[in-house]
């Protein structure tokens, strides 16, 4: 597991940015938030955002757990 941004995370962020730009562009073009294409892109963006947030949360939780375990071992060794 990558604790910093790994290549997959960076690819995901690039995809998120592309979808955001696409969404803004299509909303400006259609001027309708209920348009099928707007909804589809928005839903796709939601999937990527949630996946990215879950990955980051898991990474930060894992890092915190490892750090706490290391501190506990160090204090027991003293």
Residue 26: what pLDDT? 97
Query: Is the C-alpha dihedral spanning 51, 54, 58, 64 positive or negative?
Result: positive
**For the chain, how many residues are written?**
78
Q: Is the CATH number 3.30.70 carried by domain 7-77?
A: no
pLDDT tens for residues 32-67? Answer: 999 999 999 999 999 999 999 998 888 877 766 656
DSSP 3: S
Cα 59 to Cα 1: distance, rounded to the nearest angstrom: 7
Cα 18 to Cα 4: distance, rounded to the nearest angstrom: 22
Domain boundaries in the chain?
Answer: 7-77
What's the pTM value of the predicted model, to 2 decimals? 0.69
Cα 14 to Cα 75: distance, rounded to the nearest angstrom: 42
């Amino acid at each position: 597991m990558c604790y910093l941004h790994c290549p997959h995370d960076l690819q995901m962020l690039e995809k998120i940015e592309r979808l955001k730009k696409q969404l803004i562009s299509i909303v400006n073009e259609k001027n309708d938030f209920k348009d099928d294409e707007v909804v589809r892109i928005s839903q796709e963006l939601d999937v990527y955002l949630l996946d990215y947030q879950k990955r980051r949360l898991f990474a930060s939780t894992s890092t915190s757990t490892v750090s706490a375990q290391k501190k506990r071992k160090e204090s027991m060794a003293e």
